[in-house]
Structure formats: C-alpha cells, structure tokens
Amino acid sequence: MPGFLLAKTVAQMTKGIDWSQLEGMVLMHHGIFSFADDAYESYRRMIDLVSAAEGAFGDEPHAPDVASMPISALELATIRRAVSGIAKRPMLTSFDGSGAARSFASQKDAADIVTRGPLTPDHVIRTKRIPAVIEDDVIVSVEKFAEEYKAYFDRYSDGSQTRLDCAPRWALIPGKGVAAFGRQPKELKIIHDITRHTMGAIRRAERIGGWRALPERDVFEVEYWELEQAKLGKGGGDLEFEGRCVMITGGASGIGHACAQRFAERGAQVTVLDKEHAVLGAFDSPSITGMVCDVTDVSAVDDAVESAVRRFGGIDVVVSNAGIFSPSSLIEEMPEADWQRSIDINLSGAMHVVRASIPFLRLGWEPSLVFIGSKNVPAPGPAAGAYSVAKAGLMQLARVLALEVANDGIRVNTVHPNGVFDTAIWTDEVLQARASHYGITVEEYRKNNLLQREVNSMDVAEMVCAMAGSPFRCTTGAQVPIDGGNDRVL
C-alpha cells in the first residue's frame, strides 16, 4: 500500500545510504522511482530505467494466429443480462475479438493465468481483482464469479467495509476474446486499455519465469482503501437511463430526433435508424450513433438490429417512429402505389423492426417498446385513408404484442401525437394551406386544440421517455394522446 507507512519503512531501510550516488529505487511489488536535483533529470532517469526494463524483456511475444470463433449478438446480450442482474443495474458490454485478444483467450491455461490477480493493485478499482471466465453456461459462470467475490470479501473484511456489487468488470471468453462491463462508454474504454496491457504483460511474464500477482489480501486492501474508492465517486449521480441501450427508427429529424436527444441527455446509448443518409451527421452527442436503414428491407433491419446490439451488448428500449404521411386522396381515387407505400413503411416496417428486436428485448433491462401512433387512429379524417389505416394496423400490432411479450417483462405502449408542427411534413406551404382551409391564421392553427397549446417534438419525446422509464413501470398496452386535447378524440 502506498502512504505514510511505506515511506517510513523505506526511510528506516535506507539510513546511511549516499543518495547522491543513486539514480532510482525499485520497491518490489510496487514500482520504480527515480530522483535527481531537478525535475528534468529525474524524468530522464525514469525513461532510462524503464527502457532498461523493456530491453530485459526483449520484443513482445508474437500472438499466434488462431481460428476465428465469433461471438453471436445473442450470446453477447445474454452475458450482458447476466452481469447486469448481478450488478442490480444495467451495464454496457463491449467485446474485444481482435487477433491478440482471441489468441490470448485461446491459450489452454488462459483461465488459470488471468485469475491470479491484476497487473497492478491500482487496476482493481476498475477491473476487480480477477475477471469472470465465461464457459458454455453463461448464467452459471457469472453467478460463480459473484459467489467467489462474496467469499473473497468475507475472507478479508474487518467489518468496517461495505461490499461493492459482485459483478465482474471484465471477462475472458475462451477461444473468442474478452469483454468489458461498465455503466458508461468511458469505463469500457478504460477497462479495455487495462486488459490489453494486462494480456501483453502476462505473455512476457510467462516467457521469463511465470506470471505472479500480489496475494489476495494486499489487493483487497487497495480495492477497499477509502482513497481509492473516492476516485470512483467523482462521476456524480446516476442518470435515469445510464447503462441502457435505446434504438429509435426514423430519427434523422422530427420526433425521432427529439427522442434520441432526450434519451442521450438522460444517460442512454442510442442507435438511430433512418433511410436518409443525413442520419449519419444528424447528432453532435457521442452517445448517439446514426445508422442508415430502410425498415421495409427485412435483411437490412436484421443487420441493423445486430449492429445496435454489438455496440454495447443489447437493446433495452425500441421506439418505433419511422413513418410517412401519404398524399391526401379519397379512397376511390387513391393510387395503388400510395396505399402500398404507407402500409410498407408505417406498418410492415414497424413489424420488421419489432420482430428482429424481441429476442434482444427479452434480455434487456426493464425492456420497453414504444410506438408512435397518430390522432388518426381514434379520429380518422377523409382523404387520409392510406395513413389512417396503416396507423390503425400499427395499433393492433402493439396490442397483440402487449399480450404476447408480457410474460417476458416487455412493456408495449403507444403515444398518439397530433399536429406536431416542427417535423418535416409540416412545411410553411402545408401549414398555410391547412390554416386557410379552416379559415384561421397559421398561429391559430398551430394551437387549434382544447388547451390552445402548440405541441412540439420535444413534448412527444418527454412522453416517450416516461413510457420507457419508471413512471410506466407497471403499464403495458396503454395508448396516450399528446395533442393538446381533441374534441373528436374525447
């Protein structure tokens, strides 16, 4: 342990030494120190000492090529669910299947050497003392890690410490690679950096005499040292959706765009699908990733869902928003192409996304499906048949889903917006035309509801976040209007 006792011990052991004749000092199981009369010379001596140590090791051993054993998206989601369950909170998961990681994980003794201890005791606050080893049964493997962590705590606790969660922070997946677990992408990056260095150090240590780590008790003292724990407490309070993965369709603009922003602000990692390439540059937030996908293309949807899962290990929330408003047309005059396009995008497209997502939602944390419906479902209007019928079908899809997936803990709810004027379909020309049709001004048309309030995309996004969050924890199958009040609906 660093601190006063160590410094005092060093002072006692070095009485009578002529420090001017020395450039540095090695503290076994602790590290290298260098010193001089000025900072630059001390720094130069450190470089020399570290370079000498590197030279003694020689070149890093070459990682032999091994056959690729890719991890499936479903397996990754299963691991994430198991780890989150032990942590009692959603955890993001990142997989490293690089050649070096895969080669390391393919060693016959990999499970033995990675469970000897951390590269340095300071790593323990990020990675815990050892990783989990994920065998064929994921649940059993993670539970075994948790049981062993509890036993480790009980062995060395003096009763004054509060045990941390028992979930692993990284895992060896034999033959495939390593995975990291954390609440935020920043944590995952730190853990991957540590594990990458650890695997390289183990390879070198095994080559020159064997990998050895500090005894458990010493590592425990660092892990539960008050000053080390304080480092982890600097991140502030948890956000509502921290550690959760959200997928939104039709999010390059309008309601979908607003939903992505609101979820990201509340801590979620968001994947936004849209057929327009503009989605790739539609967001400034590092928590939102745009992906081009046409929801009418089944294969493209399947690939997009799998890619979303591979980002951080799963899907917890799906917001089905992609849709179009068909050109106004009486049914007897309706072009076949307009009818079919509305059905394909507004109804079948949503089904494609939901169908591909359900296996992953089953493994999600408090999983939720939110459909963006329309006022036209309870109150259709003339010349909007293609849109109204497709949205009505979407609502029946949502109702059936609520029945089918309730046993899996998946909630299915719908929000019905009306007159959301900051979306792409409401151009200045369209607004003026609709206002003129009713003989009122554009400003009056914008507030043409019982509350006389304009509804915008962010209003809808707030409701969607509520449906995916704790306010709707015990609600499924609900349909909620967000329209300022509509006499035809009421």
pLDDT at residue 234 above 60? no
Tokens of 105: 């994980």
DSSP per-residue codes, 73-108: HHHHHHHHHHHHHHHTS--EEEEE--HHHHHHHTST
pLDDT at residue 314 above 90? yes
Which of 231-240, 286-295, 377-386 has the weakest average pLDDT? 231-240
- Per-residue pLDDT tens digits for 124-149: 999 999 999 999 999 999 999 999 99
Of the candidates 40, 387, 438, 445, the residue annotated as catalytic is: 387
Looking at domain 245-482, which of 3.40.50.720, 3.30.300.250, 3.90.550.10, 3.30.420.40 is its CATH number?
Answer: 3.40.50.720
Q: How far apart are CA 20 and CA 14, in angstroms?
A: 13
- C-beta of residue 366 within 8 angstroms of C-beta of residue 317: no
pLDDT at residue 382 above 80? yes
Lay out the sheet containing 92-96: strands in order across.
92-96, 177-182, 170-173, 132-133
- Per-residue pLDDT tens digits for 427-450: 888 788 878 888 999 999 999 999
What's residue 67's pLDDT? 63
Tokens of 467: 């449906």
Which of 19-33, 98-112, 349-363 has the weakest average pLDDT? 19-33
Which of 36-40, 74-78, 304-308 has the weakest average pLDDT? 36-40
pLDDT at residue 230 above 80? no
Angle, helices 349-361/73-87, rounded to nearest 10 degrees: 50
pLDDT at residue 224 above 70? yes
For 295-304, letters b (16+ CB in 10 Å) and e give bbeeebbeeb
387 is catalytic: yes
Q: Residue 246: enclosing H or E segment and its boundaries?
A: strand 245-249
Pick from 146, 140, 157, 129: nearest CA to 87: 146
The residue that leads in pLDDT, 211 or 132, is 132
Looking at domain 73-234, which of 1.20.120.80, 3.40.1360.10, 3.40.225.10, 3.20.20.70 is its CATH number?
Answer: 3.40.225.10
pLDDT at residue 236 above 60? no
- Our CA dihedral for 335, 337, 340, 341, rounded to 10 degrees, sits at -120
pLDDT at residue 19 above 90? no
Where are the domain boundaries for CATH 3.40.50.720 in the chain?
A: 245-482
Q: How far apart are CA 259 and CA 368, in angstroms?
A: 14
pLDDT at residue 66 above 70? no
Angle, vertex CA 71, rays to CA 68 and CA 76, nearest 5: 160
For 98, counting Cβ atoms within 10 Å of its Cβ (0-12 exposed, 13-18 middle, 19+ buried), the class is middle
Which among 68-72, 199-203, 477-481 has the top mean pLDDT?
A: 477-481
Q: Please report, rounded to a whole number, the percentage of residues in the chain having pLDDT higher than 70.
A: 96
How crowded is the C-beta side of 340, counted as CA atoms within 13 Å?
A: 3
Where are the domain boundaries for CATH 3.40.225.10 in the chain?
A: 73-234
